[in-house]
Amino acid sequence: MQHKTRDTLRQRVIDAFATQDEIYRICFFGREAEGQHDAYSDIDMIVCSQDPVKTKAHYQQVFTTISPVRATFPLGGSPDGYSEMVMLWDYSPYQKIDFSIGDWGKQDWQLLTVYERPEQPQPKLTTLEALDIRQNVAYKLTDVLFSIARFTKCLFRRDIDMYRRWESITDLTLVTLYEKYYGWQTETLQRRLGPYASKQLYAVLNSEDRQWVHKIRPPDAHLNLAQSYQDSIALFIALSRQKALHFGISLDDDFIAYMTSFMDTEMVRYQKEEND
């Protein structure tokens, strides 16, 4: 699939939200605000709204005027704001949108104002409700799938942050593997196994799961970081399917297939670059 460019998305996002009556300012943050964006940069944006409830109710419809929405992932919500990641069909996973509603001008962030109404904004008409996020298997899997592009872009950028992202997925995969043997949890809140739990897990692994663990964290310490990450994703998806079946929860198979295909393609491209 041929994706549209980041520059196209950037302008269309600004134009689409600037036409909404209640929105009086649009800001970008992250790499673009720092003047360091590149072809792998996503769109980090904040919309300041006089009616946050109205904006939250129809922002996905605004995105569909740009491209159909492929997947979303809520990050958090409070009376002061709402944040969600959005991935669109016509754009690469690298160009996901980190979308936020809220007047965050007083935050200690570097912001780039890309649109502002000339008249002074009126006081807010509405207040958002707090968001109660349940970190069940569907939520955790969507989080992991969204994170794939964050890891592969680190490979191409030669960004040392790849190690943190690798550690995060391997830790979560082992936590989920532990649940398989010692009881599935309705919400996975634990980030990593402690030494005793790791020893417990390794002692009860069947031969197939032991091979998976050895591929992810080789006992001979000869680690191929990219391959280990790819194997971690594959095992995490397999475990998530088992866990979802246990709890009777549906998973987005189309999004799983899309992101694993994206990962496989990008890994091949990365290896080719390394060998050239």
Q: For 126-181, how does the pLDDT look when each residue is reduced to its tens digit (9 = 90+)?
A: 899 988 999 999 999 999 999 999 999 999 999 999 999 999 999 999 999 999 99
The domain segmentation of the chain, as residue ranges, is 6-116, 137-275
Predicted confidence band of residue 1 (pLDDT cuts 50, 70, 90): low
Q: For 232-266, how does the pLDDT look when each residue is reduced to its tens digit (9 = 90+)?
A: 999 999 999 999 999 999 999 999 999 999 999 99
Per-residue pLDDT averaged across 53-76, rounded? 96
Q: For 6-52, how does the pLDDT look when each residue is reduced to its tens digit (9 = 90+)?
A: 999 999 999 999 999 999 999 999 889 888 999 999 999 999 999 99
Q: Among residues 17, 115, 2, which one has the least CA distance to residue 65?
A: 17
Decide: 74 and 83 in contact? Cβ < 8 Å. yes
Per-residue pLDDT averaged across 79-99, rounded? 96
User: Looking at this protein, which amino acid is placed at residue 234?
Assistant: A
CATH code, 6-116: 3.30.460
